[in-house]
Amino acid sequence: MTEYKLKIYGTSMEDKHTHYEAHPFVGPERVTVIIRRDIAVDFQKKYGLPITKAEQFQATVYLGRNDQRVKECQDVFRPGSPLMGAIKSIDDIVYQKN
């Protein structure tokens, strides 16, 4: 896994019922970043707005290939081996209100 600092747009995140997903780019490749519900709740407590309303924020994320993840965590709907990762903590997010 490799560490990346990614710009994420809250308004383009997808609600997956148990978590949110963002799809920023690393070079020309679209990657998947998972944001757990507890991280979203922590974001709202810390910054006073829902994470999905944040214009943009920066997140530190370790990304690895889908096929190298634990079998239960692989996304079977992603062909090939796109990069995927999750935000581990609210401390991995930097947000500045405009």
For 32-90, what is each residue's pLDDT tens digit? 999 999 999 999 999 999 999 999 999 999 998 867 767 777 676 766 668 889 999 99
Distance of alpha carbon 14 from its chain centroid, rounded?
A: 10
Question: What is the model's pLDDT at position 31?
Answer: 93
Beta partners for 64? Answer: 84
HSE at residue 10, side-chain half, CA atoms within 13 A, is 20
* Phi, psi of 37, rounded to the nearest 5 degrees: -60, -40
User: Which pTM does this prediction carry?
Assistant: 0.86
pLDDT digits (tens, 9 = 90+) for 2-38: 999 999 999 999 999 999 999 999 999 899 999 999 9
Question: What is the model's pLDDT at position 64?
Answer: 86
Domain boundaries, the chain: 2-94
For domain 2-94, give the fold: OB fold (Dihydrolipoamide Acetyltransferase, E2P) (2.40.50)
| Encoded tokens for 16 | 């997956």
What H or E segment, with its residue span, contains residue 55?
A: none
